[in-house]
């Protein structure tokens, strides 16, 4: 859920800056597709994490409630 919120905020902020600084505005469907693509790629990356000491520490620090490591 946090990943979705952060992605949406980032892409809205980026589009706002594009409007402020004169870049060509994107249509909402393109922004939506960028957000979905970002979320899918990050989730796929997390699913394929190996179980190393460093990754276990990050898992604990991020307080994830699910197992992200391959079995």
Q: What is the pLDDT of residues 10-59, one digit of tens each?
A: 988 988 888 888 878 788 888 888 888 888 888 777 777 677 787 777 77
Residue 64 pLDDT grade (very low, low, confident, very high; cuts 50, 70, 90) = low
Q: What is the pLDDT of residue 69?
A: 63
Residue-by-residue DSSP string for the chain: -HHHHHHHHHHHHHHHHHHHTTPPPPPHHHHHHHHHHHHHHHHHHHHTB---HHHHHHHHHTT-SS--B--
């Amino acid at each position: 859920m946090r990943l979705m919120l952060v992605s949406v905020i980032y892409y809205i902020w980026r589009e706002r800056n594009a409007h402020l600084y004169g870049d060509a505005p994107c249509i909402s469907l393109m922004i939506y597709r960028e957000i979905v693509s970002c979320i899918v790629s990050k989730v796929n990356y997390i699913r394929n994490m190996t179980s190393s000491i460093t990754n276990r520490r990050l898992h604990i620090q991020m307080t994830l409630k699910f197992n992200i490591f391959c079995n």
